[in-house]
Amino acid sequence: MSLVVAENIDKDYQAGEISIKALKGVSFQIEQSSFVSFVGPSGSGKTTLLNLIGCLDKPTHGRLRVADTDVSTLDQKQSASFRGNHIGFIFQDFNLIPVLTVYENIEYPLIMVQNVPVQERERRIMSLLEAVGMGEQRDKYPDQISGGQKQRVAVARALVTNPNVVIADEPTANLDSKTARMVIDLMKKMRDESGTTFIFSTHDPRVVAEAEIIYTLEDGELTGREAKGGTDDV
Amino acid sequence: MFNLLRIAVRNLRRYRRRTILTASLIVTGVVFVSVFVAVSGSFKNMMIGQITDSFLGHIQIHRKGYVASIDSLPLTMNLKSQAVKKIDEAIKGIPEIEAYSPRIKFAGMFSNFVETTNIKINGVYPEKEIKTAPLFLSRIREGEKIIKKGEILVPELLAKGMKAKVGDMVVVIATNKDGSVNGKQFRVGGILESVTGPGGRDGYIHIEDATEILRMDNMEISEIAIRIKEFSQLHETHNKLQDMLSKERTEQGKPIFEVHTWEKLSPFYNVATMIDMMTFFIKLMLVAIVLISIMNVMIMAVYERVREIGTIAAIGTLPGKILSMFVIEGFCLGLIGAVIGSILGGAIIFVINFSEITFNFGRQKGLILSTSVNPNDFLVISVIVIIVSVLASLQPAFKASRMDPVQALRHV
């Protein structure tokens, strides 16, 4: 069974009196442990699609199943709970909580969302801090570390809940090429170690090159699927 | 809960200047209200104490209808010995009562053999009167601090007008209930300091002298003043006494007695009520200050942290927890303001007491403003501030909890 199954998804937005079709009849499947990238020009619908897979928004039409759950039928509370247990997020601007230290930022979803016992929390956080190379920065606040370090903390925060899927919207957009490379390598390494599926959107050709499956979006339509080792038309 | 508290406290520290400014506003409000409550409350209690302990007593019992015509001091409405006996029995059955004093009150003429003026006379048992109105003796400004047979304590204003001094002989003339006019010569035993309200121009004689002037074969009592052990039990004791005495009825089934607290008998009660009203409105102003300042700060906090709210919502924080996060922030602000305000208010009240500020009230001069700090007042004010802080945070917190994560994450 595929981890993400999208069947003929439409997403319409209302901008004043004008209705904008952000996604038109999008269908795809993503398997467990994949490293998938959605590419396309600005306004092609990448972020909208990631928001739908991340259960932050609902499709106007069509069916979307994530981890065996029809996410289009969940209410606000159920959606929040589903995200907390199944989905991790990495944001373009890192979005760490400024009043919490590196350690506490990673700890946040374990306390506030999953209620994980303290010893288990500590074990998971320390292991991830070591994995992302931030062990020595654990007591620093976000404004005391660099952009690349922030994104590494964000990767650890996304993975600490053992999610099925990590959604990363332009994760390297605010990073220099060396740091971007490091973050992509880290994401791939974490995928290999934890088996978590990474789905991200990007403009960055170096990041695209690392993806195993690349979906191309244009004007809200899925126009191509490229898997390492072959290309399909959608 | 601890983690929500930790985040709230850190967010307050993050916007330090704003937090200090808002907390200062609340502190100022709490200080102002607590000092006002302490000063006005002390003033009120002191004046009530002066009035009840100097002459009025806490509760008075009369024959039904007497209070309505109290200005004319009608002798026809006095309590006969049988009625007094019933009151005696009732009083003995109430352990909350500390002392009581039967009085014969009548209107008479006061003459220094040159001039004559009218006077209200109180015939009392000295020992009982002193136990019931313990400040009575302190009102005697000149002469021996005692009421002796054959002597009269003359009110200050009347003594001044009639040029009466301690040791002078005067005559008191009165009409008894049968209409016959009687007189008796008295030595001025002392000059009485005036007090606020009715009773300020009353003279005092021994009760046996009163029966002699009024030619009473059997003593008839105008009123019985009562002092209770704990002033806080005033209404309970009054109700108890009322219940016991209301059983006593005339042949027509009408009640024989009427029982009143000092509140019904002194016009100062209206002043006391006004003080209570002012205190209420001052508290209302505090509520407004806290409500506006906390709401303003929390609305700003939500507006400034929209992306942060989007992030924690995306991560999976339930709406209820986001709401709690902001409510706890408001709660902490209120708590800080209430605690610091109470400490500062207490310190100011201490300084006021230490400074021994004096003031005049009516004809009473040089009263020392002695403010009492009731921990309950601080507790009530603090609880009001904290509750209002939480209420003021609710609307912005609710808005934050209902925020659409997609919109919030897009916010710049």
Tens digits of per-residue pLDDT, A216-234? 999 889 898 888 755 454 5
| CA–CA distance, A58 with A51 (Å, rounded to integer) | 8
Q: Is A111 on the interface with B (CB under 8 A)?
A: yes
| CA–CA distance, B229 with B58 (Å, rounded to integer) | 10
Average pLDDT over residues A3-31: 88
B286 and B247 in a single domain? The answer is no
Which of B224, B255, B286 is where one domain is finished? B255
Helix axes B16-51, B2-14, angle to 10 degrees: 100
Nearest CA in chain A to B408: A56
Average pLDDT over residues A133-143: 90
B344 and B406 in a single domain? The answer is yes
Q: Would the CB atoms of A98 and B308 count as touching at under 8 Å?
A: yes
Residue B208 has pLDDT above 90, yes or no: yes
Count CB-CB contacts under 10 A for residue B40.
Answer: 18
Cα angle B237-B243-B248, degrees, rounded to a multiple of 5: 130
Q: Is B59 domain-assigned?
A: no
Burial B251-286 (b: 16+ CB within 10 A, else e): eeeebbbbbbbbbebbebbebbeebeeebeeebeeb
B128 and B219 in a single domain? The answer is yes
Residue A141 has pLDDT above 90, yes or no: yes
Phi, psi values for residue B22, rounded to 5°:
-65, -45
B89 and B213 in a single domain? The answer is yes
Q: Is B302 domain-assigned?
A: yes
- CB B403, CB B310: distance < 8 Å: yes
- CB A8, CB A62: distance < 8 Å: yes
B87 and B235 in a single domain? The answer is yes
- CB B307, CB B403: distance < 8 Å: no
Q: Is B44 domain-assigned?
A: yes
Q: What pLDDT does B197 receive?
A: 53
B205 and B241 in a single domain? The answer is yes
Q: Is B263 domain-assigned?
A: no
Q: Would the CB atoms of A56 and B405 count as touching at under 8 Å?
A: yes
- Give contacts of B321 with chain A, Cβ < 8 Å: 112
Question: Among A5-9, A183-187, A197-201, B326-330, which stretch is predicted with the lowest mean pLDDT?
Answer: A183-187
B244 and B298 in a single domain? The answer is no
Q: What pLDDT does B140 receive?
A: 87
Q: Which two tokens stand for residue B72?
A: 């004319």
Q: Is B5 on the interface with A (CB under 8 A)?
A: no
ipTM: 0.89
User: A168: which residues sit within 8 A by CB, 6+ positions away?
Assistant: A89, A90, A91, A158, A187, A198, A199, A200, A201
pLDDT confidence band for B72 (50 / 70 / 90): confident
| CA–CA distance, A75 with B118 (Å, rounded to integer) | 87
Closest CA to A86 of A125, A40, A32: A32
| Tokens 């942060």 -> residue | B308
Alpha carbon of B301: minimum distance to chain A alpha carbons (Å)? 13
B216 and B185 in a single domain? The answer is yes
Q: Would the CB atoms of A81 and B312 count as touching at under 8 Å?
A: no
Q: What pLDDT does B245 receive?
A: 87
Nearest CA in chain A to B321: A112
Alpha carbon of A46: minimum distance to chain B alpha carbons (Å)? 13
Residue B59 has pLDDT above 90, yes or no: yes
Average pLDDT over residues B120-149: 90
Residue B180 burial (10 A CB sphere; 0-12, 13-18, 19+): exposed
Which of B200, B228, B255 is where one domain is finished? B255
> What is the 3-class SS of A52-108, one letter each residue?
HHCCCCCCCEEEEEECCEEHHHCCHHHHHHHHHHHEEEECCCCCCCCCCCHHHHHHH
How high does pLDDT run on average in chain A?
87
Interface test with A, best of B2, B315, B402 (most A CBs within 10 A): B315
Closest CA to B174 of B205, B128, B142: B205
Q: What pLDDT does B313 receive?
A: 93
Task: Report the percentage of chain B scoring pLDDT > 90.
Answer: 41
Q: Which two tokens stand for residue B4?
A: 């929500």
Average pLDDT over residues B192-197: 71
Interface test with B, best of A95, A96, A106, A116 (most B CBs within 10 A): A95
Q: Is B318 on the interface with A (CB under 8 A)?
A: yes
Average pLDDT over residues A108-135: 89
Q: Is B56 domain-assigned?
A: no
B275 and B353 in a single domain? The answer is yes
In DSSP notation, B107-148 reads EEEEE-SS-EEEEEEEEE-HHHHHHHSTTTGGGEEEE-SS--
Going from the C-alpha of B164 to that of each of A38, A87, B146, B188, B382, the distances in angstroms are 110, 99, 18, 7, 56
- Give contacts of B324 with chain A, Cβ < 8 Å: none
B197 and B325 in a single domain? The answer is no
Q: Is B261 domain-assigned?
A: no
B279-290 residue pLDDT tens:
889 888 888 888
Which of B255, B288, B316 is where one domain is finished? B255
| CA–CA distance, B185 with B207 (Å, rounded to integer) | 15
Q: For residue A153, is it left (φ>0), alpha (ψ between -120 and 50) or beta?
A: alpha
Average pLDDT over residues B148-170: 91
Q: What pLDDT does A167 receive?
A: 93
Q: Is B352 domain-assigned?
A: yes
| Tokens 């996060």 -> residue | B325
Q: What pLDDT does B41 receive?
A: 83
- Amino acid, single-letter form, for residue B293: S
Q: Would the CB atoms of A91 and B409 count as touching at under 8 Å?
A: yes
- CB A183, CB A164: distance < 8 Å: no
B355-402 residue pLDDT tens:
888 877 655 667 777 787 778 888 988 999 899 999 999 999 999 999
Q: What pLDDT does A228 receive?
A: 75
**Residue-number span of the structural domain to which B291 is assigned:** 2-51+270-410
Closest CA to A201 of A215, A186, A187, A185: A215
Q: Three-class SS of residue B221?
A: strand
| Tokens 């399909």 -> residue | A232
Alpha carbon of A233: minimum distance to chain B alpha carbons (Å)? 30
How many independent structural domains does chain B possess?
Answer: 2
Residue B324 has pLDDT above 80, yes or no: yes
| CA–CA distance, B66 with B105 (Å, rounded to integer) | 11
B131 and B72 in a single domain? The answer is yes
CA atoms within 13 A on the CB side of B381: 36
Q: Is B3 on the interface with A (CB under 8 A)?
A: yes
Q: What pLDDT does B125 receive?
A: 94
Run of H or E including B62: strand B59-63
Rg (CA), chain A: 17
Q: Which two tokens stand for residue B253?
A: 């089934």
Q: What pLDDT does A232 receive?
A: 52
Closest CA to B133 of B220, B52, B251: B52
- Give contacts of A87 with chain B, Cβ < 8 Å: 316
Which domains are delineated in chain A? 4-232 (3.40.50.300)
Q: Is B134 domain-assigned?
A: yes
Residue A160 has pLDDT above 60, yes or no: yes
B289 and B199 in a single domain? The answer is no
Count CB-CB contacts under 10 A for residue B118.
Answer: 10
Count CB-CB contacts under 10 A for residue B248.
Answer: 14
Find the CB nearest B317 among A87, A91, A113.
A113
Find the CB nearest B315 among A57, A83, A100.
A83
